[in-house]
Amino acid sequence: MNEWKWRQLTEDSDTKNHPWKEWYAWYPVKDIYGKWHWREPMFRKVGNTYVDHDDWTWYYYITSRDLTLFLLRWP
């Protein structure tokens, strides 16, 4: 698996307050490792970008297997 990083703007503080939530991928989504998934159970984490009083919501997606491995490696 490729290494990845959190977004480097103001999102770091936002992602730490939002847990991974179970979600069904009813449309194609790309996970944090760059693989596409569709019509399968996933987990997602919400984040926000704030620029000049504008707010953009975006998500990180991960499979349940990858989430387990991710959490085991996370310090």
- 14, 21, 37 from 27: Cα distances, Å: 25, 17, 8
Percent of the chain with pLDDT over 70: 65
Q: Report the distance separating Cα 44 and Cα 39, nearest Å.
A: 14
Q: Residue 40: which residues within 8 A CB-CB, separation 6 or more?
A: 24, 25, 63
According to the model, what pLDDT value does residue 12 have?
A: 46
Higher-scoring residue by pLDDT: 32, 29? 29
> Is pLDDT above 90 for 26?
yes
pTM of the full structure = 0.64
Residue ranges of the domains in the chain?
11-73
